[in-house]
C-alpha cells in the first residue's frame, strides 16, 4: 500500500522555514540596518504587540475563542516588569526627599507609608521574571476555567473578557496609591543596574525582543503542528464531536487561552523595558480590540501574518497620524471592515491566493486549514 504523504508531519514545511528565515532576517538584520535608532525603537515597540497577535492566532484563529481582553494580559505582564524596575528606581538614595524614602514616588504622594505586600516579591529579578509569565497565565486560567468549563464561548466570551478589561482598568486607576493610577508606573531607569534608557541598551533590548518573538513563533508552530493544533481546529469546527471523541474540550480551550495570555505577557514586559513605562491605557478595551485587528489584518490563521499585520497596521498608524491625523480613524475603521468583509484571511490569505501560486515550483496549498471555514468559528 502506498503511504500517503500526510504521514510525514515535519516540524515546518520548506516554505515555512523560508518564511521564518525571511522574517528573522527582516527583524534582526534588515530593519536594524535600514532604520535609525528612533525608528528601530518604534519597530521594537510594535513587535511587542506582535506577541499578542501571535497568541490570538492560536486562541482566535485556531481555537475560535475571540478574546477582547488581551490587553489585560499584556498589561499584567508589563506591570509586573514595571514594578520591579520601579522598585529599583526607588532606592532609598533616589527617593530621599520623600517622607517615606525607598518606596515608589506615587505611593509617597498617596500617603502610603510602607511597601504593600504584593510589591515585595518584585524586589527580586528571578521572581519578577517568573511573575511576568505566571501572573497573567494564572489569571487567564481562572477566567478560562470558569468560562470554558461552563461552555461559555463566542460572543458571550468576547463581551465578558471586555468587561474584565474594563473592571481591571477602573481598579488600577482607582487604587492609585498601589498602582500609580492613571499615570501608570513611570520613570523607569535600570534593570538590575543596567541603564535601559541609553541608545545601546535600547538596541540590545530590540534584539532580545526580536529573539523572544521568534522563539514564541517556534513555540506556536510546535503547538500548531502537534496533534493539539489539529484538535483546536477540530474543536472550532465540531466541538461536540471532539468532546465525544473523549477529549475534555474545556482543557484545550483553557490551554489555548493561557498560551495566548503568556505570549501577551511577554510582549507586555518587553514593552515596559523598551518604552520605559506602563499605564492602564493598555489594559482597556480599545487597545485590546486594536490588537485583534493586527491579527485579522495579518491573517488570523497565520503566525507570520500576525507579525506582518502588526507591523503594517502600526506603521500605517504612525505615518498616517503624522500626516493626516483626522483621517486616521477613518482609515482604521475602514481597515476593520475591509478585513472582515473582503479579506477574512488577511495578508496571509492574499499571499496564498495571489502570490504563492505564481511562485515557481509551488504545488497546491497544503491541506492544513488555510482557508477560513464558511461557518462560524466555534459558536
Query: Nearest distance from residue 211's CB to other proteins, in Å?
Result: 22
Query: Nearest distance from residue 22's CB to other proteins, in Å?
Result: 26
Q: Report the residue number, 19 or 162, with the smaller CB distance to other proteins.
A: 162
Q: Report the residue number, 203 or 281, with the smaller CB distance to other proteins.
A: 281
Compute the distance between CA of residue 162 and CA of residue 71 in angstroms, rounded to an integer.
10
CB atoms < 10 A from the CB of 204, how many? 13
Compute the distance between CA of residue 329 and CA of residue 373 in angstroms, rounded to an integer.
30
**CB-facing half-sphere around the CA of 338: CA atoms within 13 A:** 12
Query: Nearest distance from residue 57's CB to other proteins, in Å?
Result: 14
Q: What backbone torsions phi and psi does residue 155 show, to the nearest 5 degrees?
A: -65, -35
Query: Nearest distance from residue 342's CB to other proteins, in Å?
Result: 10
Q: Report the residue number, 23 or 73, with the smaller CB distance to other proteins.
A: 73
Closest CA to 377 of 295, 286, 311, 288: 295
Query: Nearest distance from residue 39's CB to other proteins, in Å?
Result: 8
Q: Report the residue number, 16 or 336, with the smaller CB distance to other proteins.
A: 336
Q: What backbone torsions phi and psi does residue 190 show, to the nearest 5 degrees?
A: -125, 150
Q: Report the residue number, 24 or 134, with the smaller CB distance to other proteins.
A: 134
Provide the 3-class DSSP secondary structure of residue 194.
strand
Closest CA to 12 of 230, 211, 224: 224
Query: Nearest distance from residue 312's CB to other proteins, in Å?
Result: 16
Q: Report the residue number, 66 or 131, with the smaller CB distance to other proteins.
A: 66
Do the Cβ atoms of 240 and 47 come closer than 8 Å? no
Amino acid at each position: 500500500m502506498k503511504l500517503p504523504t500526510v504521514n510525514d508531519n515535519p516540524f515546518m514545511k520548506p516554505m515555512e522555514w523560508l518564511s521564518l528565515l525571511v522574517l528573522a532576517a527582516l527583524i534582526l538584520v534588515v530593519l536594524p540596518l535600514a532604520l535609525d535608532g528612533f525608528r528601530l525603537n518604534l519597530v521594537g515597540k510594535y513587535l511587542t504587540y506582535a506577541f499578542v497577535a501571535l497568541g490570538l492566532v492560536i486562541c482566535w484563529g485556531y481555537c475560535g475563542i475571540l478574546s477582547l481582553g488581551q490587553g489585560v494580559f499584556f498589561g499584567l505582564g508589563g506591570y509586573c516588569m514595571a514594578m520591579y524596575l520601579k522598585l529599583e528606581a526607588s532606592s532609598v538614595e533616589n527617593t530621599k526627599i520623600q517622607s517615606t524614602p525607598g518606596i515608589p514616588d506615587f505611593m509617597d504622594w498617596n500617603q502610603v507609608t510602607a511597601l504593600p505586600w504584593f510589591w515585595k516579591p518584585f524586589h527580586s529579578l528571578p521572581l519578577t521574571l517568573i511573575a511576568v509569565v505566571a501572573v497573567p497565565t494564572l489569571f487567564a486560567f481562572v477566567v478560562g476555567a470558569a468560562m470554558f468549563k461552563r461552555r461559555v464561548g463566542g460572543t458571550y466570551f468576547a463581551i465578558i473578557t471586555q468587561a474584565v478589561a474594563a473592571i481591571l482598568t477602573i481598579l488600577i486607576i482607582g487604587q492609585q496609591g498601589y498602582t500609580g493610577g492613571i499615570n501608570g508606573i513611570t520613570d523607569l531607569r535600570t534593570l538590575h543596574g543596567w541603564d535601559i534608557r541609553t541608545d545601546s541598551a535600547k538596541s540590545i533590548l530590540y534584539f532580545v525582543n526580536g529573539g523572544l518573538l521568534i522563539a514564541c513563533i517556534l513555540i506556536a508552530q510546535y503547538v500548531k503542528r502537534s496533534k493539539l493544533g489539529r484538535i483546536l481546529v477540530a474543536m472550532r469546527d465540531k466541538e461536540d464531536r471532539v468532546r465525544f471523541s473523549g477529549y475534555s474540550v474545556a482543557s484545550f480551550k483553557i490551554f489555548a487561552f493561557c498560551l495566548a495570555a503568556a505570549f501577551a505577557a511577554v510582549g507586555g514586559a518587553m514593552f515596559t523595558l523598551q518604552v520605559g513605562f506602563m499605564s492602564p491605557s493598555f489594559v482597556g478595551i480599545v487597545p485590546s480590540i486594536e490588537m485583534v485587528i493586527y491579527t485579522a489584518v495579518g491573517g488570523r490563521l497565520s503566525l507570520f501574518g500576525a507579525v506582518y499585520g502588526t507591523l503594517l497596521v502600526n506603521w500605517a498608524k504612525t505615518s498616517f497620524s503624522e500626516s493626516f491625523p483626522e483621517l486616521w480613524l477613518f482609515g482604521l475603521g475602514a481597515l476593520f471592515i475591509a478585513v472582515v468583509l473582503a479579506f477574512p484571511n488577511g495578508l496571509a490569505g492574499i499571499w496564498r491566493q495571489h502570490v504563492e501560486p505564481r511562485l515557481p515550483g509551488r504545488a497546491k496549498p497544503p491541506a492544513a486549514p488555510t482557508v477560513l471555514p464558511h461557518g462560524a468559528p466555534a459558536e
